[in-house]
Amino acid sequence: MSTQNGPIGPDHVWVEVSDDTYTEAVQRQFRRFGTAVAVRTVDLGDGPREVRATTRGEHGGFVLGQAYACAIEESGSGIAWLVYGGNAGVCVLPRDASSSALLTEADERWMFDAFFIVDRDDLGLV
């Protein structure tokens, strides 16, 4: 399992999702602008919701952690924001879910992905 997600050098950020339980395995590099910042919420079209990094726990389930975002170069769109997290990607919690430390069962209300690419206005920073 990789814990290498995040900035790699002055110009790039690396995202690797090695646990494919809820999303596909991914290895991607993005050209970044500026430093990564902690992110609390993301709006994927239905209003701001809590976003968390997901990492496979030692004893099953997933540990939820801090998600991060940084400005990246998005071909065709110019500058966008990459939201990334742990070795199992990131998840957006349902509005009524508690952000407990361990996720053992997910339902269709949880939204998982390797990463999200959004506009700056869609982020709520810590």
Mean pLDDT of the chain, nearest integer: 84
| Domain-located, residue 39 | yes
Q: What is the dihedral of CA 107, 111, 115, 118, to 10 degrees?
A: -170
Q: Which residues contact 3 (CB under 8 A, 6 or more apart)?
A: 86, 87
**What is the pLDDT at residue 109?**
77
| Within-domain flag for 1 | no
Asked whether the beta carbons of 17 and 116 are under 8 A apart, the reply is no
**pLDDT of 67:** 96
Q: For residue range 23-40, what is the model confidence (pLDDT) as tens digits? A: 888 999 999 988 899 999
The answer, yes or no, to whether residue 3 has pLDDT greater than 50, is: no
Number of domains in the chain: 1
Judge whether residue 52 has pLDDT over 90: yes
pLDDT tens for each residue of 81-93? 999 999 999 999 8
pLDDT for position 34: 84
Structural domain includes residue 12: yes
Structural domain for 36, as ranges: 6-125
pLDDT per residue as tens digits for the range 11-25: 888 899 988 887 888
| Residue 22 forms part of a structural domain | yes
Kindly state whether residue 36 falls inside one of the protein's structural domains: yes
Radius of gyration of the chain (CA): 14
